[in-house]
Amino acid sequence: MPNRLGKLLKNLILAIVSTLLITALPAHSAAKTLLVLGDSLSAEYGLPRGSGWVSLLDKQLQIEKLNTTVINASISGETSAGGKTRLPALLAQHKPSIVIVELGGNDGLRGLSLAATQSSLREIISLSTNAGAQVVLLGMRMPPNYGIDYAKRFAAMYQGLAHEKSVKLVPFFLQGLDDIEQFFQPDRIHPNQRAQALLLDNVWPVLKPLLK
């Protein structure tokens, strides 16, 4: 009887210790899902598969041993309205803890209403945060030939939304890509393979704290 009682006590102690160890695991050890909702800049348009900044991000996460699955839901030619339409199904399917929003550039290039773009981006942020995800908004700018006033209002739209919705902002996703010949494809719109690491460098400092 004493031996049996001793074994029961030992098993009970082991069970308690195991439970304490599990509950004491750091929060960042839990698996995360990161959803990228973007357009051609994130969809590897004109690039070899696996060479875009989202693919480089996935590799960076593995190097740093951050337990995060990357879902790239970007589509070339996507607008903010299109992203808003697709997002509910993506949130339901993947249940991301972080959503990176890289949209609006095509809206601007097509001359769509700034008010409509702002409304769509606001809804994308709200849908994401209401689903429990943190949001990183990637700011874009318009070329000066679209008009100085329009370009200023377009850039300010991202800053305003980030402040209004209290989400993280990368002020200008294409920061540092000033050399058209060196960093862009022949269409002079889409960054080339050489530029992808710079795009990741622009996103990483804002994103990394959310992963831990």
Q: CB under 8 Å, gap of 24 or more: what pairs does 93-96 form? A: 94/33, 94/35, 95/33, 95/131, 95/132, 96/32, 96/33, 96/34, 96/35, 96/71, 96/128, 96/131, 96/133
Contact 98, 115 (CB under 8 A): no
The one catalytic residue in 74, 163, 190, 201 is 190
Q: What is the pLDDT of residue 116?
A: 98
Give the integer Cα–Cα distance in Å for 163 and 72.
26
DSSP string, 85-148: HHHHHHHHHH--SEEEEE--HHHHHTT--HHHHHHHHHHHHHHHHHTT-EEEEE-----GGG-H
Q: What is the pLDDT of residue 29?
A: 53
The one catalytic residue in 40, 74, 120, 128 is 40
Q: What is the pLDDT of residue 212?
A: 82
- Give 10-residue mean pLDDT values along the chain (212 residues): 52 46 46 97 97 98 96 98 98 98 97 96 98 98 89 96 98 93 94 98 97 88
Q: What is the pLDDT of residue 178?
A: 85
Dump pLDDT digits (tens) for 181-191. 899 999 999 99
Burial track 135-164 (b if 16+ CB lie within 10 A, e otherwise): bbbbbbbbeeeeeeeebeebbebbeebbee
Is-catalytic flag, 163? Answer: no
The one catalytic residue in 29, 113, 178, 187 is 187
Is-catalytic flag, 76? Answer: no
32: alpha, beta or left? (left if phi > 0; alpha if psi -120 to 50) = beta
Dump pLDDT digits (tens) for 130-173. 999 999 999 999 988 889 999 999 999 999 999 999 999 999 99
